[in-house]
Structure 1
Amino acid sequence: MGSKVVVAGAFMVLLISSSLAVAAEVNVYSYRQPFLIKPLFDAFTKETGIRVNTVYARKGLVQRLKNEGLNSRADLIFTVDIGRLSDAVSAEVTQEVNSDILDANIPASYRSNKSHWFGLTSRARVIAASKERVKEGEISTYEQLADPKWKGRICTRSGKHPYMVALTASMIAHHGEAKAKAWLSGLKANLARKPQGNDRAQAKAIKEGQCDLAVMNHYYMAQMMRDEKQSAWADAIFLVFPNQSDRGTHLNVSGMALTKSAPNKAHAIKLMEFLSGDLAQRMYAEENSEYPLKPGVPWSGLLASWGKFKADTVALDQVAKYRADAIKMADEVQYDAN
């Protein structure tokens, strides 16, 4: 009888151990490509023993979370801009996170005022200018993109792409709807071609002489510099960090949010805190050529070589509030039309 009890007890210990081993994981739905975030997750697993599983998609993850409801196995959603972060919150698929570590590491401008999302890295929305046809100092603000002197000389992607929407929303936040609409209309009037392509396509267009100015995220410059086929595009341009004499350059973020379902909530919050810390922030800065959000974490060598700049301090929650207005505005000025 005694041996049966011992065997039974050992079996129960095995079951409990197996259960704990299975529970030591975090499930991430990610808009960020796996190769960009896997090194961070590997470092987290090495430090904590908690495995990170990732589902990657270019779109549709918020709707997937809605469809799955509380049965979803996802703990975290990773996104690549403030638009998708705010969409997740609006869809009610996230929950509040109370963490002194996150609050200390991520500045208030780059996290939800209700603690539903937290930025991880920032990306500057800069002006790319032709080295051949634009002089240093000839353009220094976003507002000047609407100056008639640039008529037929500017290229951008769609006015309803999330990156452009965020920039327009920031203009609404700073100038009000009427002035922002006049700016967007003026920018539209200065386009050299119908909005098209991604940010790198704008640099390519400058290289090919189709336009002299473009708007792009800074890290695309770093990516082009490392790409043998695209390095010529990078060589053809220089970057302008706008509005250094007033409000500063508009920043967007990559970010994360805890899902409402979160079956591994404690582990997920631990991962969020890890990603906001020195090691992960430094890895992001080095590997993805983005700016770390935690103050004091050094920038990558390339970004440091470009110099310090003044960032716009308007809270991204405020920018997100005007996204719908910015999309409507793009339609009203027929930004994407021929």
Structure 2
Amino acid sequence: MKKLFLASAIAVSAFSPSVMAADEVNVYSYRQPFLVEPMLKEFTKETGIKVNVKFAKEGLAEKLKQEGEYSPADVVLTVDISRLAELTKMDVVQPVDSKIINTNIPSQYRDKEGEWFGVTTRARAVYSSKDRIGKLPASFDYLDLAKPEFKGKICTRSGKHPYNVSLVSAMIAHYGEAETKTWLEGVKSNLARKPQGSDRAQVQAIKEGLCDVSLGNSYYLGKMLNDKDQKAWADAVYINFPGQEAKGTHVNISGMAMAKYAPNKDNAVKLMEFLSGDVAQGMYAQDNFESPVKSGVKRSDLVASWGDYKADTLSLDEIAAHHAAAIKLLDEVKFDL
């Protein structure tokens, strides 16, 4: 487990009772450092409360369970509804009743029991090659990825990555397990290569001619366009929002929850309220190219330039409920093999 955690520039190397003072708050984060550190630094600047962070790619729920009442964690930041569902299922978080948070975050993006809250939204988009495919029609839907016309043209990261698991979960909610399994088999047969890499790596593969379309979160396009080494990848694709004439585009969240045994509970609430407020929400929008959940906070000009789209209204609770079934289907079709 030790290898999973990397201390950020603003984090201490380890948590201990000596660092759990009244002016500090401890965070466990699945989100990458560059995505959250600007907001955490701003929180410290405004409140004087120091933020200690441990970052991980996996294993946080298990770590919290193992640590139990001795855990130093106050707040958990996640990248996906499935991660939030895992935290609640393993009983390692606690409800938060904050009028500020409940006012800032719409009910559709928070747990009815108050055990987790969405902080930003992102669309599970489909990228297409400008040269070989062009902009996909408005009628394009996720179901189309299983059609013969995309034979050998699709790239994606692991089917069992949380982003894809949530999409498959949504498909199950809409179409049932049998039809979703048939769809997964079709998508698998259309893959240009074995699932691998990140969402950005799929766009790179399109630029290099290895495939023509890929699945990827919308905010990555903004990140690539603002990275001198990756801009050429982004310039080679169109971003498409599937389901505009059907169920709508699948939307997921990044989120937050309070650890069950938070030793700095008051500071944890303050941090969570800050992340739901105008300043942090604006930073998420402008710096990360994510869509804020708080009403009235504008998307960045770049994100707005991609156009408006109809989002799938399926509840996040329902998506999370099909997580286990989605994993089962991905195993059954041997999607990653």
TM-score (norm 1): 0.90
| Residue equivalent to 2:70 | 71
Q: Is the 8 A contact 2:128 2:136 kept in 1?
A: no
| Residue equivalent to 2:13 | none
Higher helix share: 1
| Residue equivalent to 2:113 | 114
| Residue equivalent to 2:200 | 200
Moved over 4 A (4+): none
| Residue equivalent to 1:3 | none
| Residue equivalent to 1:34 | 33
Unaligned runs of 5+ in 2: 1-17
| Separation of aligned partners in 1, 2:38 and 2:212 | 37
| Residue equivalent to 2:294 | 294
Pair 1:252 & 2:263 matched: no
1:305-325 CA distance string (max 9 Å, x none): 112211111111111111111
Q: Is the 8 A contact 1:153 1:192 kept in 2?
A: yes
Q: Is the 8 A contact 1:249 1:311 kept in 2?
A: yes
Is the partner of 2:281 in helix, strand or coil? helix
Pair 1:314 & 2:319 matched: no
| Residue equivalent to 1:242 | 242
Residue 254 of structure 1 deviates from its aligned partner by 1.0
Residue 38 of structure 1 deviates from its aligned partner by 2.2
| Separation of aligned partners in 2, 1:285 and 1:141 | 26
Q: CA RMSD in A?
A: 1.6
Higher mean C-alpha displacement, 26-35 vs 152-161: 26-35
| Residue equivalent to 1:219 | 219
Residue 285 of structure 1 deviates from its aligned partner by 0.7
Residue 240 of structure 1 deviates from its aligned partner by 0.4
| Residue equivalent to 1:9 | none
| Separation of aligned partners in 1, 2:47 and 2:198 | 38
User: Match for 1:69: what amino acid?
Assistant: G
| Separation of aligned partners in 2, 1:58 and 1:334 | 23
1:41-81 CA distance string (max 9 Å, x none): 22222322322221222222222111110111111111111
| Separation of aligned partners in 1, 2:35 and 2:196 | 25
Unaligned runs of 5+ in 1: 1-18
Q: How many aligned positions are there?
A: 318
Is the partner of 2:52 in helix, strand or coil? strand
Pair 1:168 & 2:168 matched: yes
| Residue equivalent to 1:261 | 261
TM-score (norm 2): 0.90
| Separation of aligned partners in 1, 2:296 and 2:175 | 31
Q: Is the 8 A contact 2:129 2:237 kept in 1?
A: yes
Q: Is the 8 A contact 2:141 2:246 kept in 1?
A: no
Pair 1:186 & 2:186 matched: yes
| Separation of aligned partners in 2, 1:200 and 1:41 | 25
Q: Is the 8 A contact 2:120 2:291 kept in 1?
A: yes
1:155-189 CA distance string (max 9 Å, x none): 11111111111100010111111111111111111
Q: Is the 8 A contact 1:109 1:314 kept in 2?
A: no
| Separation of aligned partners in 2, 1:283 and 1:327 | 34
